[in-house]
Structure 1
């Protein structure tokens, strides 16, 4: 049976984001922090791509680079303009201004995302003015429409950010991101600062908005249960590289990479009768400045072989469902160990 071909909205090829380390009066570059190191992936229109990994794995830097808030060191980020793919890393100022209408970001901290000295009305009005909505009536119409989508009363626009709860503030940040009708939302830990009960409300709201507007989400989080609930596909990162990509159900049911297995084993189970075997990783996380040779995970991997210490594994398909992993244990569809 032939699978339905999905439209690709982002084609990311060999993306690198390195931060130089300087030393001395002359600021001589003595090394680089390789936050994102040779990442290639396609993002499909209308899907939620979850991005997970330990703190410092590069997932937030990856999201910021895709939106060009961080300048990439190398690689391409191709965005779909009605069937024509353009490399946004080469955009000039005017082209980048137009791109900003299509891709928006929801940041982790709703407290710092809104200016505490300005009323919500002003924070919502500025992006619309910037993007050419000159009529006051039209601006207010758009503001009322997006506030209705996140279940907030229009008269709340005249309040200051400190007058809202954390959940309300995050909903306001989502509403502001929707003002210029973007195609993609990059969500960087959008619910990690919220209580669990409020998290559920915000996540359900985001799902409803996605369905209504056919949005594409890049959903960055460290909470694996949240990622499972939100995502269609999941990308697992370790030290700036992709180690596994799979459909959400396939990844949680049959993870392939030893790192993914260890991450999933840490998810708590709310059942006292069900005992889950935890896979504890030994050793320290290597420095992103001086990565080990071969597979960066080999010093913590319980299945480490000689080849793992010498050759960096290639991200390749394993099976027919689009499941990919970068591990020497797998060669095509045959398991070595």
Structure 2
């Protein structure tokens, strides 16, 4: 299936999420932390879109903004309502309540996502009550169904969060997100806090659930090997902007952006006789408060030119596989 005939479920256009910096008794705004700074992309129905980058690149803020857990200062996030795209940034309280059923989120720390003072039953029952499931019998049927999806016994509902392992708690968070039958699941580092063996179980489980329910995943992670296993397409972010988008196979075999190449070179290889040549980046990550002119990556880029220091590169299509990169090296316009 080509990208032209894939159904788009999310359209994000020039999304900006800035956090004001206030000083003094009058709380005067003296600057902004530009966590997400002009992101545009499309998410296709049924795919897993991986989002990667260093800490502080804005990927988690981007996920939260798409959920409207953070308010953007500019841009549009359009969601596909049976062929009609609606901008959720302009939704009323009632419209947002309906949107919450369609898009759910799984957070990084499963323990903090569950109330330690309440039994699992209460944590699972509450969202169903909020979304209008009045029958206790119907609520319990839904809870039993989603728990079976994640291989947890229904009688475990009477336990407290501290009585479960990390992997079990994350599976519980996935099950709770599935209660309202969402179309999209935004996963923010869903396995980073788990042991490697448990990670594999949770990832395989998520793949099985995706096939069963035809879910769309936005999978945010640091671990590039995990993203390679999970994602159909991958978005690479740097300092609040997208620098490269490609399908998983293409990105790992033919990365274009110097930042992407450096990230991939850091993936460890489990073979002492096959050592990879690391591409060590010089310099420091610029502040998201005072970004450098031109390309934000220019102070760390081995291919930097004068044009890179002055002009911010636009996204360019490279080849015929939907491979997009923001780098002057691949621009048709020459220096």
Aligned residue in 1 for 2:227: 227
Distance in 1, Cα, partners of 2:131 & 2:275: 54
Q: CA deviation at 1:45?
A: 0.2
Corresponding residue for residue 307 of structure 1: 307
Which residue number corresponds to residue 200 of structure 1? 200
Q: CA RMSD in A?
A: 1.3
Query: Which residue in 2 is equivalent to 1:255?
Result: 255
SS at match of 1:210: helix
Show the counterpart of 2:96.
96
**Cα separation, 2, equivalents of 1:3 and 1:170:** 32
Question: What's the secondary structure of 1:111's corresponding residue?
Answer: coil
- Residue 113 of structure 1: SS of its match in structure 2? coil
- Please give the alpha-carbon distance, in whole angstroms, between the structure 2 residues aligned to 1:156 and 1:282: 51
Equivalent position of 1:136 in the other structure: 136
**Does the alignment pair 1:45 with 2:66?**
no
Residue 3 of structure 1: CA displacement? 6.3
Which structure 2 residues correspond to residues 1-337 of structure 1 after superposition, within 5 A?
5-332=5-332
Q: Please give the alpha-carbon distance, in whole angstroms, between the structure 2 residues aligned to 1:229 and 1:191.
A: 13
Conserved 8 A contact 2:45-2:216: yes
| 8 Å Cα contact 2:119-2:157 kept in structure 1 | yes
CA shift for structure 1 position 43: 0.1
Separation in 2, partners of 1:108, 1:291 = 28
**Runs of 4 or more above 2 Å deviation:** 1-4
SS at match of 1:110: coil
Q: Which runs of 5+ in 2 are unaligned?
A: none
2:250 aligned counterpart, secondary structure: helix
SS in 2 for 1:245: strand
Query: Structure 1: where are the runs of 5+ without partners?
Result: none
CA contact (8 A) 2:79 2:86 kept: yes
String of CA shifts for 1:214-261, please: whole Å, max 9, x gaps.
000000000000000000000000000000000000000000000000
User: CA–CA distance in 2 between the matches of 1:228 and 1:173?
Assistant: 23
Q: TM-score, normalised by structure 2?
A: 0.98
* Alignment CA distance shift 1:3-1:52 (3 Å): closer
| Matched residue SS, 1:143 | helix
2:36 and 2:58 in contact (8 A); partners too: yes
1:134-173 residue CA offsets vs partner (Å, 9 max, x unmatched): 0000000000000000000000000000000000000000
Q: Deviations over 1:285-320 (max 9, x none)?
A: 000000000000000000001100000000110110
